């Protein structure tokens, strides 16, 4: 298959908030935004079953999506803004001007809809065609880089369904904020473009005055940004096809019953072995189970394994809106995440109690947030750089709490959601199970050789819980 041309572009638009609806607005970056300046764009795909002819999808559904998107951007205008990156010593900021817009592309796919949304192991390059192309960065006369923040694409599968694909710069929104935008867009679409359907309490808050900086983190992060900005790829290009040549993607599900058994196992063993209670949330045990199985599948043969004191890291982010001393509203639009690093020795992860140790470590890091979400925050960027260069890390994208499968445009729950940017990064993504029964869905990408090993270890681990 030619992975670069499985879709045909049928239309391309620019969509902006209604003219005159949003004044020129400049938004400063907060210290929560700075760590994401060096991050590649986030990608999210929502697949919906819509068994209608291509003509109906492109002439009825797509125009309504465009119109409702315009109305939604009136409230979520930072997504239509640009990131302005002036030369040092000036700070980057976001700027919206009347008429600013986002690219909105329509494509038609010849791929089999059911095959694309399947859970089976598959060539992950098939998903790349559903990710919007990233528009180029511009440079102004004073050498300011002007970076777009969002691109959208709708892929039509005739007589089968559609895929809504989004690619956005993390500096403008975290997962909570982006999901707020998507659900608001879906709500306005469902209401036949009645913007009044968004209750006042659900409108996004753009007030950044509530974010206090007692540790002067902005100053620390700004200096690090200036040091690295000269080598930053402002075009934030897409993942190259050849990076994924030997990779396959697969989706696993852990039922609510098995999640509860995992929680009981971790809780009981921690009391027996360590005489302490640990945080045993769904997120904690699902991440521990997946992390340990990934590490074991990477090194199934290592004679000196149990003599190894090499440290591996698991990295996750935690929403801080409700954890700050001055709480932010749940509707705050931007970034409000603590970056959490969990170190565990390799021999412990591979040992008999690897999942217990991993869950205890992850749960302990969550517990630490109660003492202060900004403890150690001055090292968020430097630690990430150091740990990522070592290569012994796994990260997770998404969370069951984001409720991605509740993004309903009036066609019912998505048949599948995907987070393609994890494919080249050694991450996995986590969300609630699509059947709404309390389980979790785990999507990951690994080499073809590792997949069979991982599948065997993962399924055996589930059997041990039955």
User: Which range, of 125-139, 140-154, 234-248, 399-413, averages the lowest pLDDT?
Assistant: 234-248
What value, to the nearest 5°, has the Cα angle with vertex 15 and ends 144 and 329?
75
Strands (E), 265-336: 311-319
Contacts (Cβ under 8 Å, ≥6 apart) of 2: none
As a whole number of angstroms, the distance between CA 166 and CA 182 comes to 10
Sign of the torsion formed by the C-alpha atoms of 236, 406, 211 and 206:
positive
Supply the pTM of this predicted model: 0.93
Q: How confident is the model at residue 230 (pLDDT cuts 50, 70, 90)?
A: low
As a whole number of angstroms, the distance between CA 462 and CA 466 comes to 7
The answer on pLDDT for 303 being more than 60 is: no
**Mean pLDDT for all residues in the chain:** 90
Angle between helical axes of 354-368 and 282-298 (0-180°, round to 10): 130
Q: Is 291 exposed, middle or buried (0-12, 13-18, 19+ CB in 10 A)?
A: buried
Q: How confident is the model at residue 23 (pLDDT cuts 50, 70, 90)?
A: very high
The answer on pLDDT for 351 being more than 50 is: yes
Q: How confident is the model at residue 232 (pLDDT cuts 50, 70, 90)?
A: low
pLDDT in tens, 24-50: 999 999 999 999 998 889 999 999 999
| Residues acting as catalytic residues | 170, 408
As a whole number of angstroms, the distance between CA 60 and CA 15 comes to 17
pLDDT in tens, 160-197: 999 999 999 999 999 999 999 999 999 999 998 777 77
DSSP 8-state assignment for residue 125: G
**Residue 190: count of CB within 10 angstroms of its CB:** 15
pLDDT of residue 342: 96
Instruction: List, as one string, the DSSP characters of 351-383.
Output: STTHHHHHHHHHHHHHHHGGG-TTTTGGGHHHH
Measured in residues, the chain has a length of 466
Higher pLDDT, 374 or 227: 374
pLDDT in tens, 190-225: 998 777 778 887 899 999 999 999 999 999 999 988
pLDDT of residue 242: 60
As a whole number of angstroms, the distance between CA 222 and CA 34 comes to 7
Distances (CA, A) of 218 to 169, 273, 380: 19, 42, 12
As a whole number of angstroms, the distance between CA 359 and CA 309 comes to 19
pLDDT of residue 437: 86
Helices (H) and strands (E) in the chain, counts: 11, 18
Q: What would the mean pLDDT of 412-425 be, rounded to a whole number?
A: 89
Cis-peptide into 89, omega within 30 deg: yes
Higher pLDDT, 2 or 345: 345
- Domain architecture of the chain: domains with CATH: 7-225 (3.30.559.10), 240-299+307-464 (3.30.559.10)
What value, to the nearest 5°, has the Cα angle with vertex 110 and ends 107 and 115?
115
The answer on pLDDT for 270 being more than 90 is: no
pLDDT of residue 240: 55
């Amino acid at each position: 298959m030619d992975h670069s041309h499985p879709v045909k572009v049928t239309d391309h638009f620019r969509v902006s908030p209604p003219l005159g609806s949003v004044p020129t607005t400049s938004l400063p970056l907060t210290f929560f935004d700075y760590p994401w300046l060096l991050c590649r764009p986030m990608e999210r795909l929502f697949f919906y079953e819509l068994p209608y002819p291509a003509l109906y999808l492109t002439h009825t559904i797509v125009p309504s999506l465009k119109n409702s998107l315009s109305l939604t951007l009136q409230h979520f205008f930072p997504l239509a803004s640009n990131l302005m990156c002036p030369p040092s010593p000036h700070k980057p900021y976001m700027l919206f001007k009347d008429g600013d817009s986002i690219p909105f592309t329509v494509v038609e796919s010849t791929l089999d809809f059911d095959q694309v949304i399947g859970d089976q192991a598959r060539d992950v390059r098939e998903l790349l065609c559903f990710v919007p192309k990233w528009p180029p960065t511009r440079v102004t006369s004073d050498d300011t880089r002007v970076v777009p923040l969002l691109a959208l694409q709708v892929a039509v599968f005739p007589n089968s369904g559609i895929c809504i694909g989004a690619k956005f710069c993390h500096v403008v929104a975290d997962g909570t904020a982006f999901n707020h935008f998507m659900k608001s867009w879906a709500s306005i679409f469902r209401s036949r473009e009645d913007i009044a359907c968004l209750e006042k309490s659900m409108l996004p808050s753009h007030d950044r005055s509530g974010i206090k900086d007692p540790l002067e983190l902005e100053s620390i992060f700004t200096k690090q940004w200036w040091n690295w900005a000269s080598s930053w790829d402002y075009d934030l290009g897409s993942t190259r096809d050849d990076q994924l040549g030997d990779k396959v993607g697969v989706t696993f599900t852990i039922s609510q019953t098995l999640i509860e058994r995992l929680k009981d196992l971790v809780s009981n063993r921690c009391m027996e072995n360590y005489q302490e209670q640990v945080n045993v949330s769904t997120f904690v045990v699902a991440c521990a189970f997946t992390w340990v199985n990934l590490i074991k599948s990477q090194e199934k043969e290592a004679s000196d394994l149990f003599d190894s004191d090499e440290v591996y890291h698991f990295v996750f982010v935690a929403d801080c809106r409700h954890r700050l001393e001055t709480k932010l509203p749940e509707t705050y639009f931007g970034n409000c995440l603590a970056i959490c690093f969990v170190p565990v020795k390799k021999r412990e992860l591979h040992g008999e109690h690897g999942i217990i140790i991993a869950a205890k470590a992850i749960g302990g890091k969550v517990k630490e947030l109660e003492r202060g979400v900004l403890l150690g925050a001055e090292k968020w960027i430097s630690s990430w750089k150091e740990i990522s260069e070592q290569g012994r890390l796994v990260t997770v994208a998404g969370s069951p709490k984001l409720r991605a499968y509740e993004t309903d445009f009036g066609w019912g729950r998505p048949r599948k959601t995907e987070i393609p940017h994890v494919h080249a990064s050694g991450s996995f993504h986590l969300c609630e199970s699509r059947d709404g029964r309390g389980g979790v869905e785990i999507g990951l990408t690994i080499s073809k050789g590792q997949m069979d090993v991982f599948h065997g270890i993962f399924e055996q681990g589930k059997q041990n819980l039955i």
